[in-house]
Homo-oligomer: A and B are copies of this chain.
Amino acid sequence: MEKINIRTNKRNEIIDITKGIRTLVGNSGVENGICVVFCMHTTAGITINENHDPSVKSDILFSLEKMSPIHKEFRHSEGNSDAHVKASLMGSSLNMIISGGKLVLGQWQGIFFCEFDGPRNREICVEFISR
């Protein structure tokens, strides 16, 4: 199992981690199999989306903010339940395929760490399974 440390800088932030995951896949020696990326936090998630136009990231954050605002009815004492909801909407883990020693991704796909209660020091774990 490998780990990647991520420093986030804003409360809501989407960070491209594709390059780091690709490097770990290359180092793993797995020719054909799968790669699991797991987020160790409850106010952050992981997703795959477009890595070309950075506006997609800010548009996703804007839309998530509308979907999951801080409701006045929230009872969680830390006051960050909006972030917990967004984390579950994006999900805690990703499942990707490795083929010919490389991560299988579509032309426009990137892997993104989604911070919803930063800035914080975050950690993700990555595991590889050979077919």
Binding site for B on A (CB under 8 A): 1, 32-34, 36, 38-42, 47-50, 53, 55-56, 58-60, 62-64, 66-68, 71, 73-78, 81-82, 84-85, 87-97, 99, 104-109, 123, 125, 127-131
Contact = CB atoms under 8 A, between A and B. Distances in A.
Copy tally for this chain in the complex stands at: 3
A58 B97 CA distance: 30
A100 B67 CA distance: 39
Nearest to A108: B42
A92 B53 CA distance: 19
Nearest to A110: B42
Given A40-B109, A87-B49, A129-B131, A97 B59 contact: no
Given A67-B67, A96-B93, A97-B1, A56 B40 contact: no
Given A55-B75, A109-B42, A95 B97 contact: no
B62 A97 contact: no
A118 to B, nearest CB: 15
A76 B49 contact: no
Given A41-B108, A88-B89, A93-B95, 8 more contacts: A40-B104, A42-B109, A55-B75, A55-B76, A59-B84, A63-B82, A89-B89, A127-B131
